[in-house]
Amino acid sequence: MSRTSRTALLAALGLITATGATATVFGTATAGAATPGCKVDYQVTNQWSTGFGANVTVTNTGDPVSAWTLEWSYGGNQQVTQGWNATITQAGAAVTAKNASYNGALATGGSTSFGFNGTYSGTNAVPATFKLNGVTCNGATEPTEPPTTPPTTPPTTPPPAGSKVDNPYAGAKVYVNPDWSAKAAAEPGGSRIANQPTGVWMDRIAAINGTPGARGLRAHLDEALKQKGTGEIVVQLVIYNLPGRDCAALASNGELGATEIGRYKTEYIDPIAAILADPKYAGLRIVNAVEIDSLPNLVTNVSGRPTATANCDVMKANGNYITGVGYALNKLGSIGNVYNYVDAGHHGWLGWDSNFGPSAELFKTAATAEGSTVDRVHGFIVNTANYSALKEDHFKIGDSVNGTSVRTSKWIDWNQYTDELSYAQAMRDKLVSIGFNSNLGMLIDTSRNGWGGTQRPTGPGALTSVDTYVNGGKYDRRIHLGNWCNQSGAGLGERPQAAPAAGIDAYVWMKPPGESDGASKEIPNTEGKGFDRMCDPTYTGNARNGNSMSGALPDSPLAGQWFSAQFQELMKNAHPAL
DSSP code, position 267:
I
Identify the CA nearest to 56 among candidates 103, 93, 120. Answer: 103
Residue 463 CB neighbours (<10 A) = 11
Quote the Cα angle for 475-478-482, to 5°.
120
Reported as half-sphere exposure (CB side, CA atoms, 13 A), residue 230 has a value of 4
Chain centroid, CA 207 distance in Å = 23
In order, the DSSP letters of 458-494 are: SSPPPTTSHHHHHHHH-S---SSTT--SSBTT----S
Buried b (16+ CB within 10 A) or exposed e, 201-232: bbbbbebbeeeeebbbbbebbebbeebbeebb
| Torsion angle in degrees (nearest 10) through CA of 127, 133, 134, 138 | -40
The three-class DSSP label of residue 228 is: helix
Which of 41, 203, 246, 293 is labelled catalytic? 293
Number of C-alpha atoms within 13 angstroms, CB side, residue 541?
15
Residue 504 exposure: Cα atoms within 13 Å on the Cβ side = 26
Catalytic status, residue 293? yes
Q: Burial level of 489, CB count in 10 A (0-12/13-18/19+)?
A: buried
Distance in angstroms (rounded) separating the CA atoms of residues 526 and 189:
33
Do residues 106 and 68 make contact, with C-beta atoms less than 8 angstroms apart?
yes
What is the chain's Cα-based Rg? 24
Sequence-separated (6 or more) residues with CB below 8 Å from residue 528 = 253, 254, 255, 256
**Catalytic pick from 41, 517, 532, 536?**
517
From residue 234, how far is each of 18, 308, 318, 465 by CA, in Å?
15, 38, 35, 47
Active site residues: 293, 517
